[in-house]
Structure 1
Amino acid sequence: MRASALEGAFASASDNAGTSYVPLYGHSLGATPAQIGLLVALPNLLTNVLQVPWALLTERLGRRKQIMMLGAVGGRLLWLPLALLPWIAPSPKAAVLVLMIAVSLRAAVAGMATPAWTSLMADLVPRQVRGVYFANRNLLVNLAGFAATLLAGFLVRVGGEPGGYQLVYAFAVAAGIAAGVYMAQMPDLPWQGAPAGQGAAHPGEAREGPVPPAAATRGARARWLRLLAVFRQEPVFTRYCYTAFLWTWAVNLPAPLYAVYLVRDLGGPEAMWGLVTAANFLCTVIAQRYWGFLSQQLGEKRIMLLSGAGASILPVLWLGLPVPALAIAANGLGGFVWAGYNLASFNLLLALAPPARRTTYVAIYNSTIGLGQALGPLLGGYIADAAGIPLVFVLSTVFRAVGLWLFSRAVDTPMPAMTAADLLPLWIKWWRQQGTRAVLARPGPAL
């Protein structure tokens, strides 16, 4: 599990340094808001539409670690074309097109790792410690993301355009290689979802020797039919996917536009985006242990409702910013609430997905939200072109609230009772239990 934590740190540095600046890179090349929406929509679409095929491939081969390595390392090496972009594109219009192709291909390859990684981590980390372990892992991951985004902002400021962006993506490649080194050290546990033989997806499906084309076609058809049957067998999981689609679509409506809004509408410098993104990571780091403890005490659904309520108001909060510098505070608040939501939603997904088919269930979920991740920025970019970015922010808040309400009604999972005092940080609870005089009279425990 130590190797996984270090892999996550370097992967976070690579991914966040790279993805954070894709919209501004496109903006610097002359991309319109609609094209910037495509820069986010196309990678999201490919990443998640391919989740089910990647999951079926993983189940067929039964080689989770090898597939995970190929997708993760290969995807991060594909940041390299972005570092070379000014030298390989003959014109700004061509550069925008090459940028779209490069980030889309990178996302498609990187998505190969997701089902295998999720399944392997579920077997590596016992359920009773998942909340604490992933909170601690996320702490390290977000610290790395925080440092990487600060570094990326510094590189953009020092290198200018386009040299600063080239330095950012060269760094993303180097960090991705380091992540691959630690991923190679992760154990490859026996997979309870893999059958006997050469990694067949289900008992009785032989994998030894060549498979006749007709038999392969029948096997593929049978796997897709079993995939569709999931929605009849697991109604709670199905409703979770439906509500997650609406929520994700609403969240991603303005996703590629925040950076453009900061630079174009608020008048902030491009290098400030590194500070804005870093504030998100810093607050995420601070919040990880808080949400990790609450998740174990109050349950995943409760945490998703609480943190999701805060996440719903974030877009309209941006509309009220009088100066660019306050975007740092707004994104810091976003880091706090999203730390809770992402931790709880991941743990809820693992809880709802049956262990024997977890890879496929996770792929179904990722494909569902992937559709929202693709349609959201695509539609948001076109609305911004037609009516301006502020309308996109308002629509995002409205539909986030609707999605959260539907989730509260449709996904029936245990939700322990709570009081407002349950939300207090541990150190405040300890202070109240001990009494002010007792606390001041003697040193307290290390918290």
Structure 2
Amino acid sequence: MEPERSLRLSIWEGAFSILFINWSTGVILTGYALALGASPGALAILGGLPFLAQLLAPLALFLRGSRKALAVRLNLLARALFFPAILAPLLPEPHRIPTLLLFAGLSQLLAAPVGVVWLSWMADLVPEERRGRYFGLRNALLGLVGTLGNLLGGAVADRLPPPTGYQAVLLLGVGLGLLSVLLLRAQAEPPLPSSPPPQKALQAAWRDGAYRRYLAVVFAWYLAVMVGGPFVVPYFIQVGGLSMTQVGLWTLLSATSGLVFGPLWGRLADREGHGAVLLRAGWVAALMPLLWLMGSRAFPWPIWAAALVDALAWSGLGTALVNAALAQAPKETRSGYLALFWLALGLGGLVGSLVAGLVARLEVGPSPYHLPILVSALLRVLVARRFRP
């Protein structure tokens, strides 16, 4: 019955988990921060927190014991620790945003090593010949669940006085995140393959010249993305005139489309390799910000069209970036390769978020968000030229 039982459970576990992750790091958290009076600089910091957390990913190599036990414990602590962030509105106004940033950051820092541990576990659980199809389907389904959650969360936020609606959604997210930990415990864990000491695994990955070049592209790509990334939802709300419910509808449209595109990208990856997906999806993602910039309160249709383009790009790109790393990693040193992948991703996103805050402070253009998004598009095009089939 294994691994089929555990693979089905993993989809259910991911469905509950993604609601917590989306709400505590995505559009709902951004709306919550706006309701608490966050500045563009604070929004840039908030957008950079997930990438700052990824800098701790290599610590996963030094954690001993069962990968399942580690993932369960770290997720349990991370999700419980987010709860104080929900209480930020009870504090005096000057302390609200710092408290939100502190506990959201601590929660994400604790969860950071889980990515390496969980992916190493799943790489042993999912048969290699099915990885593209399984992760393509799983990611598409989780994308749909997450954006249905955004739609629900946005509707609640619009119907209750701010920030009460956001608090209610985030509290539900913590509860669902804790429930997902129970499902994580129920999954099987294959025997841990013998592996060299962490230092040797990292050294083996770093000495791989082709992999170092790939890490440089990952770093540059997430830097480019995050120069504009923290301002997409604020742009939709303050420039495009979308309500939180409409933002939820936008993400629902994207996720529904991703449910179609994800398996198609997966089949292409199984047939031609993950590099072919990177090349094609990367160019789509590189040009997508231009659609955002064409939209406005009087002419919002390019923003809605971008939902389809977003689905086409990221339903393939997100999975292909990870699977391309897995494809280059020898089994015995896989953990070192994955740790460096998450480190490159985190460093790129963190540097990009810092640049985003600096660019937004220039206040060039109709809003503080136009210039960072334009710079992001230009940088994405430069990096997309480095993707190889």
TM-score with structure 1 length normalisation?
0.80
Of 25, 36, 54, the residue aligned with 2:60 is 54
Distance change (3 Å), C-alpha of 1:281 and 1:193? farther
1:379 aligns with 2:355: yes
Of 76, 80, 89, the residue aligned with 2:79 is 76
> How many corresponding residue pairs?
376
1:322-341 alignment runs, 5 A limit:
322=296, 323-324=299-300, 326-341=302-317
CA contact under 8 A between 2:78 and 2:107: conserved in structure 1?
A: yes
Give, in whole Å, the separation in 1 of the partners of 2:60 and 2:225. Answer: 25
1:7-22 alignment runs, 5 A limit:
7-20=13-26, 21-22=28-29
1:36 aligns with 2:33: no
SS of residue matched to 1:407:
coil
**Structure-2 residue corresponding to 1:280:** 254
CA contact under 8 A between 1:41 and 1:374: conserved in structure 2?
A: yes
**How far off its partner does 1:344 sit?**
1.6
Q: Could you report, residue by residue, the CA deviation over 1:119-148 in whole angstroms, capped at 9, with x for unpaired residues?
A: 000000111111111122223212211221
Give, in whole Å, the separation in 1 of the partners of 2:290 and 2:141. Answer: 30
CA contact under 8 A between 1:244 and 1:403: conserved in structure 2?
A: no
Give, in whole Å, the separation in 1 of the partners of 2:72 and 2:15. Answer: 16
Give, in whole Å, the separation in 2 of the partners of 1:401 and 1:395. Answer: 10
Give, in whole Å, the separation in 2 of the partners of 1:224 and 1:350. Answer: 19
Of 333, 337, 361, the residue aligned with 2:337 is 361
**Structure-1 residue corresponding to 2:288:** 314
Q: Could you report, residue by residue, the CA deviation over 1:347-379 in whole angstroms, capped at 9, with x for unpaired residues?
A: 211111121121221011101110011111221
Name the amino acid aligned to 1:339: S
CA contact under 8 A between 2:153 and 2:169: conserved in structure 1?
A: yes
Give, in whole Å, the separation in 1 of the partners of 2:48 and 2:140. Answer: 28
**Structure-1 residue corresponding to 2:185:** 184
CA contact under 8 A between 1:193 and 1:355: conserved in structure 2?
A: no
SS of residue matched to 2:387:
helix
1:123-272 alignment runs, 5 A limit:
123-194=124-195, 201-202=196-197, 223-224=198-199, 227-232=202-207, 234-272=208-246
Q: Could you report, residue by residue, the CA deviation over 1:290-324 in whole angstroms, capped at 9, with x for unpaired residues?
A: 11111112211011110111000111211101434
**Structure-2 residue corresponding to 1:419:** none
1:117-128 alignment runs, 5 A limit:
117-128=118-129
CA contact under 8 A between 2:158 and 2:243: conserved in structure 1?
A: no
Distance change (3 Å), C-alpha of 1:107 and 1:28? same
Distance change (3 Å), C-alpha of 1:67 and 1:3? same
Distance change (3 Å), C-alpha of 1:44 and 1:18? same
1:396 aligns with 2:372: no
Give, in whole Å, the separation in 2 of the partners of 1:291 and 1:242. Answer: 24
CA contact under 8 A between 1:67 and 1:112: conserved in structure 2?
A: no
CA contact under 8 A between 1:85 and 1:99: conserved in structure 2?
A: yes
**How far off its partner does 1:69 sit?**
0.8
Identity %: 29
CA RMSD in angstroms, aligned pairs only: 1.7
Distance change (3 Å), C-alpha of 1:77 and 1:328? farther
Give, in whole Å, the separation in 2 of the partners of 1:24 and 1:162. Answer: 9
**Structure-2 residue corresponding to 1:432:** none
Q: Could you report, residue by residue, the CA deviation over 1:85-115 in whole angstroms, capped at 9, with x for unpaired residues?
A: 222x222x21000011011101101112111
1:99 aligns with 2:100: yes
Give, in whole Å, the separation in 2 of the partners of 1:160 and 1:8. Answer: 30
**Structure-2 residue corresponding to 1:411:** none
Structure with bigger gyration radius: 1
**Structure-2 residue corresponding to 1:27:** 34
Name the amino acid aligned to 1:267: G
Give, in whole Å, the separation in 1 of the partners of 2:69 and 2:304. Answer: 40
**How far off its partner does 1:243 sit?**
0.8
SS of residue matched to 2:59:
helix
TM-score with structure 2 length normalisation?
0.92
1:334-353 alignment runs, 5 A limit:
334-353=310-329
Distance change (3 Å), C-alpha of 1:338 and 1:226? closer
**How far off its partner does 1:155 sit?**
1.1
Name the amino acid aligned to 2:250: V
1:406-421 alignment runs, 5 A limit:
406-408=386-388, 415=389
Q: Could you report, residue by residue, the CA deviation over 1:164-198 in whole angstroms, capped at 9, with x for unpaired residues?
A: 1101101111210221111011112111134xxxx
Give, in whole Å, the separation in 1 of the partners of 2:312 and 2:154. Answer: 21
Distance change (3 Å), C-alpha of 1:37 and 1:229? same
Give, in whole Å, the separation in 1 of the partners of 2:259 and 2:276. Answer: 21
Q: Which runs of 5+ in 2 are unaligned?
A: 1-6
Distance change (3 Å), C-alpha of 1:226 and 1:118? closer
Give, in whole Å, the separation in 2 of the partners of 1:247 and 1:313. Answer: 13
CA contact under 8 A between 1:131 and 1:292: conserved in structure 2?
A: yes
Name the amino acid aligned to 2:349: Q
Q: Could you report, residue by residue, the CA deviation over 1:224-259 in whole angstroms, capped at 9, with x for unpaired residues?
A: 476245322x11111110111001100111111011
Give, in whole Å, the separation in 1 of the partners of 2:371 and 2:61. Answer: 38
Name the amino acid aligned to 2:65: G
**Structure-2 residue corresponding to 1:217:** none
Give, in whole Å, the separation in 2 of the partners of 1:359 and 1:26. Answer: 35
Give, in whole Å, the separation in 1 of the partners of 2:34 and 2:240. Answer: 15
Give, in whole Å, the separation in 1 of the partners of 2:260 and 2:75. Answer: 27
Give, in whole Å, the separation in 1 of the partners of 2:25 and 2:50. Answer: 11
